[in-house]
Amino acid sequence: MFPVDGNGGCVGQSLRDDPHFEELRTFWSRALRAYGPQWMIIVALQKLDDGEGAPVDAVAAMLNVDPGFVTTHSRLLVRKGFVSLRATGKFEEAIRLSLTAKAQEHLAEFAVRQGA
């Protein structure tokens, strides 16, 4: 996959610094019907997922938001089929998020569009 978020520590800021930010935001809004926070979670997961999913608290730290915010929006992404949740314990921090094949297909499609 391609690095949509650059090399910055905070995905949100590095994306806003990207000259293609509006194009990216518009694409995700239309193609995925995902709002800004949901799209940012997808981008964070793309960077953080090590094959075993990414912990909610790591996604929250990267986006500089509360873990509850990530949990709420990730559940909406689960309903849309873009994220899967896997509980590894009974606390919110123990939930791991992963991009689904559907989300990865959309990311790959966008990479092709961006490269053209």
Q: What percent of the chain has pLDDT over 70?
A: 72
Domain ranges of the chain: 11-115
Q: Which residue has the higher pLDDT, 94 or 67?
A: 67
**Element holding 11 (H helix, E strand):** helix 11-17
Overall fold of domain 11-115: Arc Repressor Mutant, subunit A (1.10.10)
Q: CA–CA separation, 87 vs 61, rounded Å?
A: 19
Please state, as a whole number, how many other Cβ atoms lie within 10 Å of the Cβ of residue 56: 23
Question: What pLDDT score does 5 carry?
Answer: 40
Reported pTM? 0.73
The larger pLDDT score, comparing residue 3 to residue 65, is at 65
pLDDT at 18: 64
> How far lies 92's CA from each of 43, 62, 72, 99, in Å?
20, 16, 11, 18
